[in-house]
Structure 1
Amino acid sequence: METSLLEKSTKTIERCQAELLDLINGQRNWEHLGDDNNVESDRLMTESGIHLIKAVGLINRTPQQIFDVIWDYQHKSEWDDMCLENILVQEFTPDFRVQYQRFWAPWPINQRDFVFASKVIRTDGDILITGKSIETELAPEKSGIVRGSINTSGFYLQSLGENLTRITYLVCVDPKGSIPTWVVNQLGKRQCQIVHKLKMRLGDV
């Protein structure tokens, strides 16, 4: 195991976890984007000018059932059609790992890829999945593909009963390159669809 990568990933995830919990529990001036397919969507301006997206919905499944789909990286493309490649870079524990993901982008924008640490935190039946970009020689940049940055991302799966979960999805991604910020924010709105796509994958539509 690459000890330095473990230490770096641990510190990265600790920051990400604190950010996500603050966003979930704190009072922020969210701008409401609407209700689509029973999923409430909001956005929040960050210091970089890139919007942080939040999507909240209910799924008639347990947190564990939803987690099993999200954490199964080999089948992510089944509910996120923009994901072209998803590889396990390093697994520290079954609930803590580093991943590589490559995504489709509309012409003439180059494809983007991301390398990030991801960890699962379980509390009283609820599940928090965190993700934040990290650098490692185990996943070097590729020619013709722009390496983007996941500033913060996560799923919070809150149990509301025997077979009902409130899912909160938070994400802020910087695709890097020469894309204008307003275009980045337009593309970011597509992230609001992730919760509905998970509902479809779980057969709850």
Structure 2
Amino acid sequence: MPDPQPPSPEVFDKYSDITHPDAFPEALSLLKSLLTDSTIKWESNGDRNGVELYYYQPDPPLPAPICRGVGTFPAGLTAEQILPTIHQIACRKNWDERFKLGFPLLRYSRKLVRFYAVQKGVGEGWFTIVSPRDFTGYSGHVREVGDDGVTRNFYLQTSAEFEDVPDVEGFVRGWTNLAGWVLEEKAGEPVKCSYIVKFDPKGSIPANLVAQVVKDTPACIDKVRTFIEKNGLVPYVNMHDEFPGQLRQEVLVGEETEINPENGEKLNDAGFRLTFSWFGAVGSFDINFDERWENGVKIDVEEGTIDEDLELKSTKGKVTVTVKEGGKDKKLKLIVSKA
């Protein structure tokens, strides 16, 4: 059976109406409660390379205990630099071994989408132990500055039911009350990260596998950290800056290393290519990339015209995109990759 496929790009030509206006705010409220409620009796689930692992099973018990991880990122990294590795699907495949595929279905704003995702099963055919799980719901970003001087960057997903997202043959539709990341920034301190997940896998899963998922899931903090240390920063646009225009797509795609068939030498390094598409509005924004890229980035303008619609100015670690009057309300599209 072929895998589910993402919708056509035209779906993102306008922002959609939210079917469940309370779903995302309620999930955010749950995340904040699980993050700060001192009465919750979290049980230690060990440590994974400096990431503290916890679980909590209330009474009456849930189908799976709530799990939580707490760790820090190396000094010098900002939340905006870390977030793309967490929310971009091309990166997730590298730090979540159970993740199979995913994509946005609708866009409600720059920071909120409807998502669809599939987690791998265990075994195949007659030897299937656990069927693949698929999930759909809302995924989005929120930033808040607390009275304690800490800036908290929330990125979370929560399940919802949609009539136009029917069950898929061969998959069990799982339910995620919350899969939430919190990146906390305070001047002079490294970014603190918490990852909290409350889910119902539905269907039948052996208890030992549920226990392993509860332990492995919050340990993804370490895998995100390792990914950044190994691969550097992927190209990104700050999530919480004011953005001029209406975003259509912001998709990162992994690139394979090209090999010269004649001598076997590498023609390029494997990396990531960012597709950024939007309806223009007069103003500017930055496309950021790893400052260690000595040759900067290559930008292909697939929609729009340089000088007439927009201007590009490159400096260390970023390219400033300025949309001119000629680009107002036009469909613009840039492809950004390592030069």
TM-score of the pair, normalised by structure 1: 0.90
Distance 1:168 1:180 in 2: 27
Q: C-alpha root-mean-square deviation of aligned residues, in Å?
A: 2.0
| Preserved contact between residue 16 and residue 107 of structure 2 (Cα < 8 Å) | no
Distance 2:165 2:89 in 1: 16
SS of aligned partner of 2:215: helix
2:132 is the alignment partner of 1:123: no
Please name the residue that 1:12 is paired with.
23
Please name the residue that 2:174 is paired with.
148
The one-letter amino acid of 1:62's match is T
Please name the residue that 1:54 is paired with.
68
| Preserved contact between residue 106 and residue 113 of structure 2 (Cα < 8 Å) | yes
SS of aligned partner of 2:28: helix
The one-letter amino acid of 1:102's match is V
Distance 1:186 1:79 in 2: 16
Please name the residue that 2:204 is paired with.
178
Distance 2:222 2:41 in 1: 24
Distance 1:71 1:183 in 2: 25
| Preserved contact between residue 74 and residue 86 of structure 1 (Cα < 8 Å) | no
Displacement after TM superposition at 1:186 (Å): 3.2
Displacement after TM superposition at 1:130 (Å): 1.9
Distance 2:19 2:137 in 1: 14
2:121 is the alignment partner of 1:105: yes
Distance 2:203 2:70 in 1: 30
1:93 to 109, 116, 134: 109
Distance 1:97 1:116 in 2: 8
The one-letter amino acid of 1:55's match is G
Please name the residue that 1:80 is paired with.
96
Worse overlay, 178-187 or 118-127 = 178-187
Worse overlay, 161-170 or 176-185 = 176-185
2:82 is the alignment partner of 1:71: no
| Preserved contact between residue 89 and residue 139 of structure 1 (Cα < 8 Å) | no
| Preserved contact between residue 16 and residue 108 of structure 2 (Cα < 8 Å) | no
Q: Runs of 5+ in structure 2 lacking a partner?
A: 1-14, 124-128, 146-150, 231-339
1:22 to 13, 33, 37: 33
Greater RCO (Cα-Cα under 8 Å, separation 6 or more): 1
Provide Cα deviations, 1:32-60, integer angstroms capped at 9, x if missing partner.
Answer: 11222000011011442420000000002
SS of aligned partner of 1:203: helix
Q: Runs of 5+ in structure 1 lacking a partner?
A: none
Worse overlay, 110-119 or 183-192 = 183-192
Distance 1:94 1:88 in 2: 12
Please name the residue that 1:40 is paired with.
52
Displacement after TM superposition at 1:182 (Å): 5.6
Identical columns (%): 23
Query: Number of residue pairs matched?
Result: 202
Displacement after TM superposition at 1:163 (Å): 7.1
Structure exhibiting the larger radius of gyration computed from Cα positions: 2
Displacement after TM superposition at 1:128 (Å): 0.7
Provide Cα deviations, 1:116-136, integer angstroms capped at 9, x if missing partner.
Answer: 211211113420112110111
